[in-house]
Amino acid sequence: MPKTAIFSDIDGTLLTSEHRMTPATRSAILELEAKGVPFVIVTARGITGTYPLLENNGIACPVVTYSGGVILDEKRNVIHHHGLTRAQAQEVVDFATAEGFDMTWSAYSFEDWVAPDKSDARLQTEEAVVMAEAREGTIASIERDEVQKVLCLCNPACIDDIERRLVERFPELSIAKSSDVLIEVMKAGTTKAQAVRTLCDIWGLDPADAIAFGDQYNDAPMLEAVGRGYLMGNAPADLLARMPLHAPDNDHDGIVCVLRDLGLIG
C-alpha cells in the first residue's frame, strides 16, 4: 500500500503553455516511480489523446481519462468505466445544434473519437494539442452504447452562456468547463475527484494522504478531495482566490517545485 500518491491534470498543469513536458517534470515522474510513489494522470482527454504524451516521454503510469469515465492501470488494463448512452449523447448534440451555439462538438467512446466536421479549425486545434485524430462520423456511428464524453469546442466569447444553457437543459448530467474554449458533458457523477477516490480505495490509501495538481474549474473538486491540492499559478484568478494551496505556474516547473519542497524528490 503506498503512503501517498500524486494526481495530476495534463493541460495547463503537467505541460507547459506549448504543450510540452519539461525534462525536469519527466525526471520527477520517473523518480517517483522508482520510489514506489504512484503518479497518476487525471485528464479530461480521451485515451487516444493521452498515451502519445506518455509514450513520447517513456512513462508508464495509471491514467484517468474522460475526467473519470475510463480508468486504466499502468499496463493499460481498464479497471473502471462508465458513460452516457448513445441516446443521451445524441440528445445533447441535437440540443446544441438546434440552439445554434457558436461551437462544434466531438464525442468519445473508449478509443473511438468522432466529430461531424473534420475541417473545423477548432477540432483541428484540439487534434494538434492531443496528438491524435478524430474520425468524421456521427453519434450513431459509434459502435458501443457507451459514450464517455461529448466535448463542446466553443467560441470563448460565448462559452459561459453555452455552459449555462447546457446545465439548465441537462441538470441530470455532469457538465464542466475545462478551459476557455472547452465544455465537457458526461454522465452524472463523473468527476476527477471521484476517480481519485476510486483509485485510493483500490490502493487502500486515505485520500487525505494524497496530493493533486490542477489549473481549471474541473480540477477544483479533485484538489479539494485530497489532503494537499495545489492550484497552478496560471489558473484563473477567481480560482486562485478560492483555493489555499498554490504551485508555481506550468511554465516554471510548478509540480517539480512543490514535490521538492515536500521532500518527495531530490
CATH label of the domain that carries residue 138: 3.30.1240.10
Q: Show which of 186, 221, 246 is a domain's final residue.
A: 186
State mean pLDDT over 15-38.
97
pLDDT at position 118 is: 96
Which residues, in sequence order, are CB contacts of 201 under 8 Å at separation 6+? Answer: none
Say yes or no to pLDDT of 2 above 90: no
Q: Does residue 201 sit in the same domain as residue 166?
A: no
Q: Show which of 162, 186, 210 is a domain's final residue.
A: 186
Mean predicted lDDT score pLDDT of the chain: 96
Instruction: Please give the share of the chain, as a percent, with pLDDT higher than 90.
Output: 98
Count up the domains in the chain and report the number: 2
Q: Show which of 171, 186, 201 is a domain's final residue.
A: 186
pLDDT at position 187 is: 97
Say yes or no to pLDDT of 72 above 80: yes
Say yes or no to pLDDT of 120 above 90: yes
State mean pLDDT over 242-255.
97
pTM above 0.85, yes or no: yes
Considering the domain boundaries, does residue 93 fall inside one?
yes
Q: Does residue 179 sit in the same domain as residue 227?
A: no
Say yes or no to pLDDT of 1 above 80: no
> CA–CA separation, 160 vs 164, rounded Å?
6
State mean pLDDT over 92-113.
98
pLDDT at position 222 is: 97
Say yes or no to pLDDT of 113 above 90: yes
pLDDT at position 207 is: 98
Per the CB < 8 A criterion, the answer to whether 136 and 114 are in contact is yes
> CA–CA separation, 152 vs 39, rounded Å?
29
The CATH code of the domain that includes 217 is 3.40.50.1000
Instruction: Please give the share of the chain, as a percent, with pLDDT higher than 70.
Output: 100
Say yes or no to pLDDT of 177 above 80: yes
State mean pLDDT over 38-51.
95
Q: Does residue 94 sit in the same domain as residue 45?
A: no
By residue range, what is the domain housing residue 108?
A: 86-186
> What band does 236 get if pLDDT is binned at 50, 70 and 90?
very high
pLDDT at position 41 is: 98
Q: Does residue 57 sit in the same domain as residue 132?
A: no
